[in-house]
Structures are given as structure tokens and as C-alpha cells.
């Protein structure tokens, strides 16, 4: 490459994703990516009405079956949990297998990730809560044993990122996403069983995260550390902050709030303020260490699922902190998603948006719809506004007709706005039982009251 071309490329890189903490280059980058979002978003057609309306979830009387507590309980017992019980248990080496096709067949050899093994434990634990006689806790216990034996770092503490299928360590990095879900799974299993041997693992992991992964200057959790907990990746992501907030809420709920409350409040403050776009109000995805937004990392795209997840987590945090800022941010995030991502003709939330609210795609993802159920229920519970319960019913009907696989069980991974299936697999590297089970469990719990 010639010297002028190299200079131009470097200049564009500095402008489009500047390394400074603000100023002209940051404003220029935001202006560029705003124009990019407007141009790309304008190419997508508006939502169209699906060819066949979601009638299968509606009884002759007009009431959606999917809004009843019995529906969600039956769905958990007969459609979701049995699929994973039949197909995911690795009886050769321990732990869980996740790369499952529509019929539950393993379609790829895989490494086992700590956070995803933990998500399976969490899902089976929730199964025990709704159906204590179903044997789900017996499927969670071997997962706990596999985590402790294969993922715990006996030298430095914390949880390895991944192991091979047979349990041999593959990656020793300490990613905060995975640390968070292991914490949540251990807390949930301890709450169900009273197993006090798990508490030292929780306490030690929290202590290491606080000492090495929390940024004392700018606040927030970094994305990842090396095996010895030295810093690997300084950037801050929505994924990590939200998952650590979830873990802190889970630990506080089952192990006592204690000293977790101040940090929980800190993270909720960051999500409510620093991570939201000041113009459009959306939750942004990737930041540099000092909380300067990095639009180039995602091409100025955001994930609807993270905005919805932030909403219900902030309302849960509000119940602990009492801070009205957290509740106000939650309501605004749901409002943003309903304005820009809700499919008014067919129902459901589209997953991909630009920062300005323009469509960046037409995919509906299984986990985004799950976060939508949780967010709409949480706002309804917080405000008493029946319109959010009505939207919850529409979303549940959309899921029932578009995602649920009545032939083989579980849900498809994605569809488009017309309801056409884009990906019929049931598992993958970051696809497990967790999201549908959690959403249906919380819906059952809310509607059974």
C-alpha cells in the first residue's frame, strides 16, 4: 500500500473510531455513523403484515391462551425442559451439550463455555421451582459438579472460559460474562438446596472481580482478564454490565444484600446514565475505558434485546435501591423499543437497530423476544398500566405461533417479520435452555399471583 493510501486509511480509522475521550473527532465519528444509519435504515421496507395472522394461540372466545399461568407451566413441563433433558446431557464426559439441531441432534463438536454450562444449571433449577417432582434438580446437580471440577481455577481463583468436551482446560481467560452467569447459577442452586459449600466460591469470585475487573477510576466492569486476573480487555460493553447486574441481583436475593447494594447501585447508575445515548435514549453497546462511546465497534448498531434486558433489570434494581432514576430509565428504554423495534402488524421485537432507531435488519431472535416478555411484565407491574399487559399478550401469541416447535420441542432460533423461520436450530455456542425457561418461569410466576 502506498504512503498516501496508508495515511488516508489511518486518518479514517482515527475519525471513525477515535481513541481520545471526546472532542472534534468524537463528534465527527458520531455524525458519520448517524448518516450511515440513516442511509442503511432507509433501504429496509417497513414492517408488513404476516400472511397468516397468529390465530393458533387464540381461542374462540378471543383470549390468548399464552397469557395464562397454566399455559406457561405446561410449556415448561412439556416443551422446553424435556427437550434439554433428552438431548443436552453429556453422559460420556459430564456437563451439557448445546450445539443441537431442530431434532436435538449434535451438529458440531464443541468446547464447553463456563457461562453456558451455568445457564443450563440455572434453567434446570427454575424447572425445579415450578415442578419439584419433575426431576429437574437432579439434572442441575451434575452440572454444578462439572463446573467445580473442571472450570474452577485452583491457582488463581475464578472460572476458566472454556474446556474441551472431555473437560480438559481449553482457555484460561476470565471473561466477565461467564463469571456472572456462574455466580447466578451457584446462588440459585444454593437457594434451592442450602448447599453451603458453594458460598466460598461465590465470595471468592466476587472478591476477585471487585479487585481486578472493576474500574475504580471510571466505574464499570472491564470485559475480560487473563488467567492471573491481569487486564486483558479494557473496553466496557453493555453485555458485561447487564450480566453482572443480573448476578448481583441474584446473589442479593438468595444470599442477602449486605455489601452488594453499593456496587449494585453503581452498576444501575452506569446503565441508566452513562450507557444511554443522550439524543435518542437507547442503550449503547461498546465503550472505551473512560465511557466514550465506540460506534465503529458495532457500526453504530444496538441490540433491542439488551435495551429490553436493561429495562427489567433496572426495575429489579429499583426495588432494592429505590432510586427513581433507575425506574425512569427503564420506562424510557421500553418506550424506545416499542417505538422503533415493535412490529405493529405482526407483533414481536426486531433485534437489530441503529442508534437513531432506524431498522438495521428484520430478524426476530428467540432471546430478544424473551427479554421483551420480561420487560413488558416488569413495566406493567411497576406502573399498573394495562396497555403493557396487552402488549405482553401480543408478544406471547407471536412467540407461540412463530417460535414454538410443536413437533420436536423448544423454540426456533430466529424468524423474520413475516414469521418465516430463518434458523431452526435449538442450541449453539451462545444458545441454551436459559432464555425461554427464564421468560416462561417469570411469566408463570407473575400470572399465577
pLDDT in tens, 273-295: 999 999 999 999 999 989 999 99
Q: How far is CA 220 from the centre of its chain?
A: 18
| Contact (Cβ atoms closer than 8 angstroms) between residue 326 and residue 283 | no
Quote the percentage of the chain above a pLDDT of 70: 86
Contacts of residue 362, defined as CB under 8 A and 6 or more positions apart, other chains included, come to 44, 350, 352, 416, 417
pLDDT of residue 60: 32
Query: CA dist 34 to 30, 44, 247, Å?
Result: 6, 16, 34
pLDDT of residue 258: 53
pLDDT of residue 22: 54
Which cell numbers hold the place of 271? Answer: 446503565
CA dihedral 365, 275, 270, 303 (to 10 degrees): 0
What integer is the mean pLDDT of 137-163? 98
**Which fold, 55-447?**
Glycosyltransferase (1.50.10)
pLDDT band of residue 272 (cuts 50, 70, 90) is very high
pLDDT of residue 33: 72
pLDDT in tens, 332-391: 999 999 999 999 877 899 999 999 999 999 999 999 999 999 999 999 999 999 999 999
DSSP H or E run through 141: helix 136-146
Per-residue DSSP letters for 283-305?
BP-EE-TTS-B-GGGTTTEEEHH
pLDDT of residue 9: 54
What integer is the mean pLDDT of 123-143? 97
pLDDT in tens, 400-414: 999 999 999 999 999
Delimit the domains of the chain by residue range. 55-447
pLDDT of residue 346: 76
pLDDT in tens, 63-76: 445 579 999 999 99
Say yes or no to pLDDT of 221 above 90.
yes
Say which range, 43-52, 93-102, 378-387, 409-418, has the weakest mean pLDDT.
Answer: 43-52
Which three-class secondary structure state does DSSP give residue 221? Answer: strand
Which three-class secondary structure state does DSSP give residue 162? Answer: strand
| Contact (Cβ atoms closer than 8 angstroms) between residue 95 and residue 160 | no
Say yes or no to pLDDT of 4 above 90.
no
Say yes or no to pLDDT of 392 above 90.
yes
pLDDT of residue 257: 56
pLDDT in tens, 312-331: 999 999 999 999 999 999 99
pLDDT of residue 3: 58
Per-residue DSSP letters for 410-443?
SB-SEE-TT--EEE----BTTB-SHHHHHHHHHH
pLDDT, mean over the chain: 89
C-alpha span between 16 and 284 (Å, rounded) = 16
Amino acid at each position: 500500500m502506498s504512503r498516501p493510501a496508508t495515511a488516508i486509511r489511518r486518518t479514517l480509522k482515527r475519525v471513525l473510531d477515535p481513541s481520545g475521550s471526546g472532542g472534534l473527532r468524537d463528534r465527527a465519528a458520531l455524525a458519520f455513523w448517524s448518516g450511515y444509519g440513516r442511509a442503511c435504515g432507509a433501504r429496509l421496507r417497513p414492517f408488513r403484515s404476516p400472511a397468516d395472522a397468529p390465530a393458533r394461540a387464540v381461542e374462540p372466545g378471543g383470549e390468548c391462551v399464552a397469557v395464562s399461568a397454566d399455559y406457561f407451566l405446561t410449556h415448561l413441563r412439556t416443551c422446553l425442559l424435556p427437550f434439554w433433558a433428552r438431548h443436552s446431557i453429556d453422559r460420556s464426559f459430564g456437563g451439557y451439550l448445546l450445539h443441537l439441531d431442530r431434532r436435538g441432534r449434535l451438529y458440531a463438536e464443541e468446547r464447553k463455555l463456563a457461562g453456558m454450562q451455568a445457564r443450563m444449571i440455572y434453567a434446570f433449577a427454575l424447572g425445579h421451582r415450578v415442578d419439584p417432582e419433575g426431576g429437574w434438580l437432579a439434572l442441575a446437580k451434575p452440572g454444578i459438579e462439572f463446573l467445580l471440577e473442571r472450570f474452577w481455577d485452583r491457582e488463581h481463583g475464578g472460572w476458566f472460559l472454556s474446556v474441551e468436551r472431555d473437560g480438559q482446560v481449553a482457555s484460561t481467560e476470565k471473561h466477565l460474562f461467564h463469571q456472572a452467569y456462574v455466580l447466578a447459577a451457584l446462588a440459585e442452586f444454593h437457594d434451592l438446596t442450602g448447599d453451603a459449600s458453594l458460598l466460598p466460591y461465590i465470595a471468592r469470585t466476587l472478591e476477585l472481580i471487585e479487585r481486578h475487573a472493576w474500574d475504580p477510576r471510571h466505574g464499570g466492569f472491564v470485559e475480560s482478564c487473563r488467567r492471573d486476573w491481569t487486564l486483558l480487555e479494557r473496553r466496557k460493553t453493555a453485555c458485561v454490565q447487564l450480566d453482572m447486574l443480573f448476578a448481583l441481583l441474584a446473589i442479593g436475593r438468595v444470599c442477602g444484600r449486605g455489601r452488594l447494594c453499593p456496587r449494585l447501585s453503581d452498576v444501575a447508575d452506569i446503565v441508566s446514565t452513562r450507557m444511554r445515548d443522550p439524543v435518542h435514549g437507547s442503550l449503547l453497546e461498546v465503550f472505551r475505558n473512560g465511557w466514550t462511546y465506540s460506534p465503529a465497534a458495532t457500526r453504530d448498531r444496538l441490540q433491542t434485546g439488551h435495551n429490553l434486558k436493561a429495562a427489567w433489570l433496572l426495575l429489579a434494581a429499583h426495588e432494592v435501591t429505590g432510586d427513581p432514576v433507575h425506574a425512569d430509565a427503564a420506562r424510557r428504554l421500553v418506550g424506545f423499543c416499542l417505538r422503533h423495534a415493535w412490529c405493529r402488524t405482526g407483533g414481536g421485537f426486531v433485534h437489530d437497530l441503529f442508534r437513531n432507531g432506524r431498522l438495521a435488519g428484520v430478524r426476530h431472535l428467540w432471546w430478544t423476544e424473551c427479554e421483551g416478555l420480561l420487560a413488558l411484565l416488569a413495566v406493567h407491574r411497576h406502573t399498573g398500566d394495562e396497555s403493557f399487559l396487552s402488549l405482553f399478550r401480543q408478544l406471547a401469541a407471536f412467540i407461540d405461533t412463530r417460535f414454538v416447535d410443536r413437533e420436536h420441542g423448544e423454540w426456533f432460533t430466529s424468524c423474520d417479520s413475516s414469521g418465516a423461520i430463518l434458523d431452526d436450530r435449538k442450541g449453539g455456542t451462545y444458545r441454551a435452555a436459559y432464555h425461554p425457561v427464564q421468560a416462561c418461569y417469570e411469566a408463570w410466576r407473575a400470572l399465577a399471583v
